[in-house]
Copies of this chain bind each other. A is one copy, B any other.
């Protein structure tokens, strides 16, 4: 009998090609072990609440009231909710037509999009147009929609950093385009060299690929570096010269753990460069409620802002967004609350600031603890996490370990990470899932485990690593010096 439509042989080849290591072999094995009763520390995905981070109180109060608007008429509401949460809930409900149970406009509620535009203007010093801001079910959905709009087929290329967050490689596979890698330089603190970019584009063109867009992740995932203004300016000039759209993944803009390189948006730099560039370079910037000190991943809220995108294209993007009717409405309200937060004098302001600061300062300490912890391990070196929520140590695997991995039918870093998981319960993602140079091995872990548990986790890692290194040490060379 012929294969059926949903038999594996019949499936869309692009679907089969998709790889997504963040929830790949390691995650599946970790889930199995968890079922068997082993304690797993899920550091494979930036999911702060899953590791014990408490949600900010005020936004949860507001959204709870929006979910239960009948409480607003209840004389007892003041026993459980402060007056500013009640006022904010009324503010957002008034923006909806029918509350959280009604589809919004497919771009998201106009009122929230206006709040996003005001936030961008305050942040960057340049006005932003709410009509060019679309709310989405998390930033990933926005990235996928834009890539789907750009990619026409195999000969369309997108420049993606290596190492990269695998959303990009996955989406490019799914839409049948070509990933054009550019390498971040580990020894230069994961910096980006425009000459390498130029080479990557030249190589791709030689293969017949039209490079149409470039992705930057700033702060970097998995690498944690923050791009400097000078670097962003070079990138934008490069996009202008090479006629590339720039996709700016800026979801970690609130996650900064050093003072030398504060976050600066690609849009701000572009606007500051003036015409012709500020009028020509096409830029789409992404943000989310999942990261920062919010960490509201499960709500699935995001936005993208379009710069220099012609109205006819905006109409097309609107049309395709309409096919899924609307992004979920509760997360739109989280987005509004994030971009338009409490102000000094508001009843809940002090608590809000205390909670936010507590989270961000703890993350800063954890970034330091993790970097130092990794650097104290045998054959491990690690750049400091300047931003985002990941540590990305290089693991210098001895030849014997690489051999053992081959025997086990595993990629060497997968082999290492599986052993780590079995020994300690720490669930990481092998560096090969993000792309890395040939013969170099990494792992990615989030910096999200609770601060008080961090010393124990790092000790457990060190113990495993040093035993592993001893086991495979042949007193000759390592995978890379």
Which residues of chain B have C-beta atoms less than 8 A from A195's C-beta? none
**In A295-316, which residues have CB < 8 Å from any B CB?**
295-300, 306, 308-310, 312-313, 316
Given the complex, which residues of B lie within 8 Å of A401, measured CB to CB?
none
Residues of chain B within 8 A of A74, CB atoms compared: 80
Report whether B15 and A102 are in contact in the complex, using a CB–CB cutoff of 8 Å: no
Give A57's nearest chain B residue, CB to CB: B70
Q: In the complex, identify which listed stretch (A6-14, A218-226, A228-236, A417-425) lies at the interface while the others stay far away.
A: A6-14
Task: Provide the bound-state CA to CA distance between A24 and B98, in Å.
Answer: 21
In the complex, identify which listed stretch (A178-186, A265-273, A325-333, A452-460) lies at the interface while the others stay far away. A325-333
Task: Please tell me if the beta carbons of A244 and B316 are within 8 angstroms of each other in the complex.
Answer: no
Chain B residues with Cβ under 8 A from A49's Cβ?
Answer: 98-99, 101-102
Identity of the chain B residue whose Cβ is nearest the Cβ of A100 in the assembled complex:
B298
Question: Are A5 and B245 CB-contacts (below 8 A) given A80-B76, A137-B137, A323-B20?
Answer: yes
**Minimum CB distance partner of A296 in chain B:** B101
Bound CA span A175–B174, Å: 10
Q: Is A466 located at the chain interface by the 8 A CB criterion?
A: no
CA–CA, A295 and B104, complex, Å: 13
**Which of A122-130, A148-156, A342-350 lies at the interface?**
A148-156
A319 within 8 A of B: yes
Question: In the assembled complex, how far is the CB of residue A307 from the closest CB belonging to chain B, in whole angstroms?
Answer: 10
- Binary B-proximity of A92-108 (CB < 8 A = 1, otherwise 0): 00001111111111100
**A170: interface (CB < 8 Å):** yes
Asked if residues B20 and A297 are in contact (CB atoms below 8 Å), the reply is: no
Contacts of A152 in B (CB 8 A): 10-13
Is A64 engaged at the interface, CB distance under 8 Å to the other chain?
Answer: yes
- Would A101 and B71 count as touching, CB distance under 8 A? no
Identity of the chain B residue whose Cβ is nearest the Cβ of A307 in the assembled complex:
B6
With A102-B47, A103-B47 known as contacts, the answer to whether A298 contacts B329 (CB < 8 A) is: yes
Q: Is the CB of A50 within 8 A of B319?
A: no
B50 and A150 contact, CB distance less than 8 A: no
Partner of A102 from B297, B309, B312 at Cβ < 8 Å: B297
Cβ of A207 < 8 Å from any Cβ of B? no
Contact A323-B100, Cβ < 8 Å, known A137-B137, A299-B329: no
Q: Which of A125-175 contact B (CB under 8 A)?
A: 137-138, 140-141, 144, 148-152, 167, 170-171, 174-175
- A24 to B99 Cα, complex, angstroms: 23
CB <8 Å contact, B323 and A15: no
Among candidates B52, B100, B138, residue contacting A299 with C-beta atoms closer than 8 Å:
B100
Return chain B residues, CB-CB under 8 Å to A296: 100-101
Q: When the two chains form their complex, are residues B310 and A297 in contact, meaning their CB atoms are under 8 A apart?
A: no
Q: Can you name the residue of chain B whose Cβ is closest to the Cβ of A177?
A: B12
Are B299 and A7 in contact, with the CB atoms below 8 A? no
Once the chains are docked, how many angstroms separate the CA of A371 from the CA of B314?
A: 38
Encoded as 1 (CB less than 8 Å from any B CB) or 0, chain A from 45 to 65 comes to: 101111111010100110111
A324 contacts B by Cβ under 8 Å: yes
Q: Is the CB of A60 within 8 A of B67?
A: yes
Asked if B151 and A12 make an inter-chain contact with CB atoms under 8 angstroms apart, the answer reads: yes
Q: A313 to B7, alpha carbons, bound, how many Å?
A: 6
Instruction: Take A76-B79, A330-B299 as given contacts and tell me if A8 and B312 are in contact as well, using a CB distance cutoff of 8 Å.
Output: yes
| A404 in the interface (beta carbon within 8 A) | no
Q: Could you tell me which residues of chain A, from 194 to 234, have a CB within 8 Å of some CB in chain B?
A: 212-213
Partner of A101, one of B55, B101, B316: B55
Bound-complex Cα distance A150 to B31 (A): 28
Q: Which chain B residue has the least Cβ–Cβ distance from A77?
A: B80
In this assembly, does A337 line the interface, its C-beta being within 8 Å of a C-beta of chain B?
Answer: no
A residues lining the B interface (CB < 8 Å): 1-2, 4-8, 10-13, 15-16, 18, 20, 22-24, 31, 42, 45, 47-53, 55, 57, 60-61, 63-65, 67-68, 70-71, 74, 76-77, 79-80, 96-106, 137-138, 140-141, 144, 148-152, 167, 170-171, 174-175, 212-213, 243-245, 280, 282, 284, 294-300, 306, 308-310, 312-313, 316, 319-320, 322-331
6 shortest interchain CB distances as A-B pairs: A298-B329, A49-B98, A49-B101, A64-B68, A5-B212, A50-B98
Q: What are 6 A-B pairs at a CB distance below 8 A? A: A4-B245, A5-B150, A6-B313, A10-B150, A12-B149, A23-B106
